[in-house]
Amino acid sequence: MDGGNIRIRTPIGQPCDCKGYKAARLHNFQAIAASFQDNSIVINWVNDQPLAPILTCIGDGHDGIWNIIREFTPMTERREILDWFHLMENLYKVGGSTQRINKAKTFLMSWEG
């Protein structure tokens, strides 16, 4: 699941406008659901698919993404995972020595939880 903003061009002299989009892709499908300003399109598409009993969702940590993912209805449970890029970004925000950060990265890369 991901989302972002698209800059909409406007006539010269008028301020530009930004509109939000969201998109989801299910692992076993070739299709991607995307919506422009309407999250229910993506939510309904995902919920209309045959989902695994345990649905693993990967997102970037933005509340808007997790709020949509919470609407997905797998048969038993949902796992929410922060994507690697944003996990590393947050690891560096925690700070500490280079040795400490590298030790944490090594642990995260080897974890099979």
How do the pLDDT tens digits run along the chain, 113 residues long? 999 998 888 899 998 888 889 999 988 777 889 998 899 999 999 999 988 888 899 999 899 999 999 999 888 898 999 998 888 888 888 888 889 888 888 888 887 65
Q: Are residues 56 and 110 in the same domain?
A: no
- pTM exceeding the 0.85 threshold for the entire prediction: no
Co-location of 41 and 88 in the same domain: no
- The total number of structural domains in the chain stands at 2
Q: Helical H runs in the chain?
A: 39-48, 63-69, 84-94, 98-110
- Residue 7 and residue 51 in one domain: yes
Burial label for 101, CB within 10 Å (0-12, 13-18, 19+), is middle
pLDDT of residue 112: 67
CA angle 40–30–72, rounded 5-degree value: 30
Q: Which domain holds residue 6?
A: 2-82
